[in-house]
Amino acid sequence: MAQTETPRTTTPTTKKWVYLFQEGSADMRALLGGKGAGCAQMTRAGLPVPPGFTITTEACNAYYQAGRQFPEGMWEQTLEALHTIEQQTGKRFGDPQNPLLVSVRSGAALSMPGMMDTVLNLGLNDATVEGLARLTGNERFAYDAYRRFIQMFGRIVLEIPGERFDEAFEAIKGEVGARQDTDLDAAALKRVVARFKEIVQEATGRPFPTDPYEQLRLAIAAVFRSWMGKRAVDYRNFYKIPHDLGTAVNVQTMVFGNMGDDSGTGVAFTRNPTTGAKELFGEFLINAQGEDVVAGIRTPMPIRKMAEVLPQAYQEFQQIARRLEETYRDVQDLEFTVERGKLYMLQTRAAKRSAAAAVKIAVDMVHEGLITREEALQRVEPAQVEQLLVPQLDEATVEAARREGRVLAKGLNASPGVAVGKAVFDPDRAEELAHAGEPVVLVRPETVPDDIHGLIVAQGVLTARGGMTSHAAVVARGMGKPAVVGAEQVRIDLRERCFAVDGRTVREGDWITIDGGSGEVFLGQLPVHVPNLAELHELNELLGWADQVRRLGVWANADYPRDAERARSFGAEGIGLCRTEHMFMEEDRLPLVQQMILAAPEAARAKRAAGVEAARQALRAARQRAQEQGPAAAPELAELERRLAEAQTKLQADPAWQQYQAALDRLLPIQRGDFYGLLKAMAGRPVIIRLIDPPLHEFLPKHEQLLVEATELRVRGDNPQRLAEVERLLAAVNALREANPMLGLRGCRLGLLYPEINAMQVRAILEAAAQLHREGVETHPEIMMPLVGNIEELRRLHALFTEVAEAVQAETGVRLDYKFGTMIEIPRAAFIADQIAELAEFFSFGTNDLTQTIFGFSRDDAEAKFLGFYLEEKILPFNPFQTLDPEGVGELMRIGVERGRRARPALEIGICGEHGGDPASIAFCHRLGLNYVSCSPFRVPVARLAAAQAALADRGAAAARDR
Ligand code: PEP
Ligand code: MG
């Protein structure tokens, strides 16, 4: 075979683009990629690694910068490194007598399983294949390697659709009567090779490249190209991995696991990646190449079986696995090949693991003295904690489903969690349905990297083939999605979009439930249950360490005692937001609330007409004067008292007022009961109760609904009484309708127009606290005013609340520990935070409204209408309703904190918008010096960990500054 180019020298001035494995090390990950750095580290440690070299990630970036050209000197350095490998192996590239064959594999700094392309057996051509056959004494093996090479090279490098090769392969199998691939003999494989070469010629208009150097050049370029391939870009977008890291290319001597029954290949983890148990866990295939394991084409045997078939190699592998885990102080994901009894290590990298495994491994490793508690806290992603607490199936549900014959199949429990969704059979359709708001479960014979967009949107994935390390399993575990793989009973018909099991058919759109913890697949939607943190011992231990490290408090948003109890069991140290309007929405209260709302505008008019407010204010002023200057300064006091009493008597006689009062009187004990429950559940802890916030029409029936009913009643004419009622409601709803309710009569504006509603709520809170005090229960209610943006709003409400509080304390004889405070959720409030803090004893940032108002994005419309587009087009880097926008919202918060604390240094400040449970936002709140974050009960454990990680990052930054 002619060798076209073999320059062996490099000008010393060119950049170093290529590193032999022995030149690299574990800490060169950014430059060599994970795979390259792993091979380098293993080579350095004297482990059996087939010789090879790595072309750097910088070379990949330089390739793109140069308009898809190899950077200067890279190719020459590649050839030089190849020459070194030739010397190390005693083989020569393209030499028919003793050919060196290599694999060309991608390897980014961050692991992207199955995302990038790999070409094996490179260097084969019509001449070297003969050499391989002679050397191995196995012509069939050589031609099998050759046909695999053309197939892989054709698909990945030359971008010929894989099906063309598959179809040709199946056709030849049919012609020679072979049932399995292994039934094909050398002669048949030669026919396959010839046919594959024809396919290449037909598809590309050029013959298959026989020059190994040309093969290598094209393969390296293909790996670089695949970095910007659709599935790699999708994957990076999903995981927020930057696109400019680049991939390294690893060129490594081939070793063959398919050289007979003393050979094989496997993938193993040093600990169980699903449960975290300390045991070697993996799969092994005798007489196979690595691609067979990863692709899930043949179902492999568990790794411990290797001890029986290849005992020596197994023992060596066990020792190496242990050593690598100790070196990296983390669980490793290993790839290896046994060639004629000799073990070769191909890869070591930190293993992807399920949420449960991540927590268990981190905690176990602390107990084993391998890592510190701080390291353990940094090893677990906050999102993994959330996954552990996600709803699951309980025993009774599963039992009932079994009895009802709803169990369809059982596969491998590849990634825990329960997914309930409509079955879909292709990733594009999954995307379509998911974007329309449908939960979907992706069902595939097996997944391939091109399915990634379907996996991203699916609730979970079910495959009929493949093992625990198949693509579907690895990717789903990484994403924290439930997966059941290798459910072999499931017969999938992709064309008909259905699957059948034992005569039952599930079609696209039918509901299924998959349990990635047990591997079971159920027909229909099963109810799910929420796990209890107390049962999760390792997580509890880890969160205990987090509590010692974090500075931020973690509170919860909870409206009901049951939520408060859950929040408390998850470690919440207070309630940061109880949205009282949710209580009003409950069915038994709604009629009373409606009565209150319908009467409120008339009652307010009556109050003005009776002059109650004017009389009260005049009296208040005179009293103040008397207090400050003595009784002589306010001789009209008695007269003013009489006038107020008179105005009140007049008001009491007004029917609208009576209706309004009656509703409030009946709501008072109900609300008292609500607050009693909440304060009791959080005994001894602060509970922030926010007074009614949303627009009043939200409590009334829908306008359209009333209109239809009124029209029907009018046409039928059989129920004039109901018609009058509906018309009255319609008029009220019409009167309350707003063009932009989110910026309308909400929050404190309501409280100012109808102060009796707020007064009733304040009374209910404080009476509940007084009652609990008598029962010996300690309470710390904090009463919060929403949507304040103007100091006069707060001043008036503060005066009203003080009056109510004084009255309740006088009536009950109990001195209460309560606070009045406000939300900061209108930009103006942040600017006047110093004035607000004169009256408010605490602030809570309502970042939902702050985001809405600072961006001018309607909370109701943005996500449905244009935010998706903004994110796709990268007009915004992230959804500001999920992750706090540091430049706008964050800046307002900074101003609010600074001015608020200037006026009141001990001001308690927290956040209760959705961002309170988002790890990145929590880190921001930590840096801002808030006292606490408040989030939904489920996210409390997540927030505990995220707050600890923020504190650790701070310490790290401080240590770096000190150095
Ligand atoms: C907020 O605005 O952030 C908030 C917590 O209040 P709501 O979502 O109820 O408007
Ligand atoms: Mg709000």
Model pLDDT for residues 751-781, shown as the tens digit of each residue: 999 999 999 999 999 999 999 999 999 999 9
Task: Please report which confidence band the pLDDT of residue 110 belongs to, taking 50, 70 and 90 as the band edges.
Answer: confident
Q: Look at residue 580 and give its three-state secondary structure.
A: coil
CA R_g for the chain:
35
Residues with CB under 6 A from ligand 1: 577, 579, 693, 825, 846-849, 912-913
User: Average of pLDDT values for 290-294?
Assistant: 64
Alpha carbon of 663 to ligand 2 centroid (Å): 26
Q: CA-CA distance, 313 to 293, in Å (whole number)?
A: 18
For ligand 1, atom 9, name the residue with the nearest CA. Answer: 579
Alpha carbon of 919 to ligand 1 centroid (Å): 18
Out of 579, 784, 911, give the residue to mutate to test ligand 1, the one with the largest number of ligand atoms within 8 Å of its CB.
579
Q: CA-CA distance, 184 to 252, in Å (whole number)?
A: 28
Locate the ligand 1 atom nearest the alpha carbon of residue 912 and give its number: 5
Query: Is residue 865 scored above 80 in pLDDT?
Result: no
Alpha carbon of 849 to ligand 1 centroid (Å): 6
Alpha carbon of 885 to ligand 1 centroid (Å): 16
Query: Is residue 160 scored above 70 in pLDDT?
Result: yes
Alpha carbon of 405 to ligand 1 centroid (Å): 45
Active site residues: 471, 912
Which residues on adjacent β-strands are paired with residue 824?
Answer: 845
User: Average of pLDDT values for 255-279?
Assistant: 91
Ligand of minimum distance to the alpha carbon of 889: 1
Locate the ligand 1 atom nearest the alpha carbon of residue 852 and give its number: 2
Q: Determine the pLDDT at residue 692.
A: 94
Q: CA-CA distance, 25 to 38, in Å (whole number)?
A: 7
- The mean of the pLDDT values for the chain is 91
Q: Determine the pLDDT at residue 58.
A: 96
User: Average of pLDDT values for 58-73?
Assistant: 95
Ligand of minimum distance to the alpha carbon of 851: 1
- Percent of the chain, pLDDT > 70? 96
Q: Determine the pLDDT at residue 658.
A: 97
Q: Is 807 left (phi over 0), alpha (psi -120 to 50) or beta?
A: alpha
Task: Please report which confidence band the pLDDT of residue 959 belongs to, taking 50, 70 and 90 as the band edges.
Answer: confident
Task: Please report which confidence band the pLDDT of residue 297 belongs to, taking 50, 70 and 90 as the band edges.
Answer: low
- Please calculate the CA angle 718-721-727 and round it to the nearest 5 degrees: 105
Task: Please report which confidence band the pLDDT of residue 10 belongs to, taking 50, 70 and 90 as the band edges.
Answer: very low
Q: Determine the pLDDT at residue 3.
A: 41
Residue with tokens 């990298």: 349
27-37: per-residue pLDDT in tens?
999 999 999 99
Q: CA-CA distance, 349 to 473, in Å (whole number)?
A: 17
Locate the ligand 1 atom nearest the alpha carbon of residue 786 and give its number: 6
For ligand 1, atom 8, name the residue with the nearest CA. Answer: 848
Query: Is residue 796 scored above 90 in pLDDT?
Result: yes
Task: Output the pTM of the full model.
Answer: 0.78
Q: Determine the pLDDT at residue 636.
A: 92
Query: Is residue 393 scored above 60 in pLDDT?
Result: yes
823-833: per-residue pLDDT in tens?
999 999 999 99
If one compares 902 and 732, the residue with the highest pLDDT of the two is 902
Lowest mean pLDDT among 289-293, 316-320, 385-389, 835-839: 289-293
Task: Please report which confidence band the pLDDT of residue 864 belongs to, taking 50, 70 and 90 as the band edges.
Answer: low
Alpha carbon of 877 to ligand 2 centroid (Å): 24
For ligand 1, atom 4, name the residue with the nearest CA. Answer: 846
252 in Cβ contact with 105 (< 8 Å): yes
Ligand of minimum distance to the alpha carbon of 844: 1
Structural tokens at position 961: 């500054």
96 in Cβ contact with 1 (< 8 Å): yes
- Please calculate the CA angle 754-757-763 and round it to the nearest 5 degrees: 135
572 in Cβ contact with 940 (< 8 Å): yes
For ligand 1, atom 1, name the residue with the nearest CA. Answer: 846
* Alpha helices, H only, 775-888: 791-812, 827-831, 833-839, 847-855, 862, 868-872
Alpha carbon of 167 to ligand 2 centroid (Å): 60
Lowest mean pLDDT among 59-68, 151-160, 479-488: 479-488
Out of 854, 859, 912, give the residue to mutate to test ligand 1, the one with the largest number of ligand atoms within 8 Å of its CB.
912
Q: Look at residue 38 and give its three-state secondary structure.
A: helix
* Residue 418, CB-side half-sphere exposure with 13 Å CA sphere: 21
910-940: per-residue pLDDT in tens?
999 989 999 999 999 999 999 999 998 888 9
Out of 743, 749, 823, 858, give the residue to mutate to test ligand 1, the one with the largest number of ligand atoms within 8 Å of its CB.
823
Locate the ligand 1 atom nearest the alpha carbon of residue 577 and give its number: 5
Alpha carbon of 578 to ligand 2 centroid (Å): 12
Ligand of minimum distance to the alpha carbon of 911: 1
Alpha carbon of 753 to ligand 1 centroid (Å): 21
Query: Is residue 113 scored above 70 in pLDDT?
Result: no
For ligand 1, atom 6, name the residue with the nearest CA. Answer: 846
Query: What are the residues whose beta carbons fall under 8 Å from the beta carbon of 781, sequence distance 6 or more?
Result: 675, 679, 687, 689, 765, 766, 768, 769, 816, 818, 819
Q: CA-CA distance, 813 to 217, in Å (whole number)?
A: 88
User: Average of pLDDT values for 949-955?
Assistant: 94
Residue with tokens 């699957």: 499
Out of 577, 848, 883, give the residue to mutate to test ligand 1, the one with the largest number of ligand atoms within 8 Å of its CB.
848
Lowest mean pLDDT among 457-466, 540-549, 801-810: 457-466
Q: Determine the pLDDT at residue 469.
A: 60
Query: Is residue 715 scored above 60 in pLDDT?
Result: yes
Query: Is residue 440 scored above 90 in pLDDT?
Result: yes
User: Average of pLDDT values for 67-95?
Assistant: 96
Locate the ligand 1 atom nearest the alpha carbon of residue 693 and give its number: 9
Q: Look at residue 349 and give its three-state secondary structure.
A: strand
CA distances 622 to 627, 641, 803, Å, are: 9, 10, 16
Out of 578, 746, 825, give the residue to mutate to test ligand 1, the one with the largest number of ligand atoms within 8 Å of its CB.
825
621-646: per-residue pLDDT in tens?
999 899 999 989 889 999 999 999 99
Locate the ligand 1 atom nearest the alpha carbon of residue 848 and give its number: 3
Alpha carbon of 775 to ligand 2 centroid (Å): 34
Ion ligand 2: residues, Cβ under 5 Å: 825, 846, 849
Task: Please report which confidence band the pLDDT of residue 9 belongs to, taking 50, 70 and 90 as the band edges.
Answer: very low
For ligand 1, atom 3, name the residue with the nearest CA. Answer: 846
CA distances 500 to 153, 404, 405, 898, Å, are: 36, 18, 15, 64
Locate the ligand 1 atom nearest the alpha carbon of residue 915 and give its number: 3
Query: What are the residues whose beta carbons fall under 8 Å from the beta carbon of 722, sequence distance 6 or more?
Result: 713
Locate the ligand 1 atom nearest the alpha carbon of residue 849 and give its number: 2
Structural tokens at position 162: 């894989």
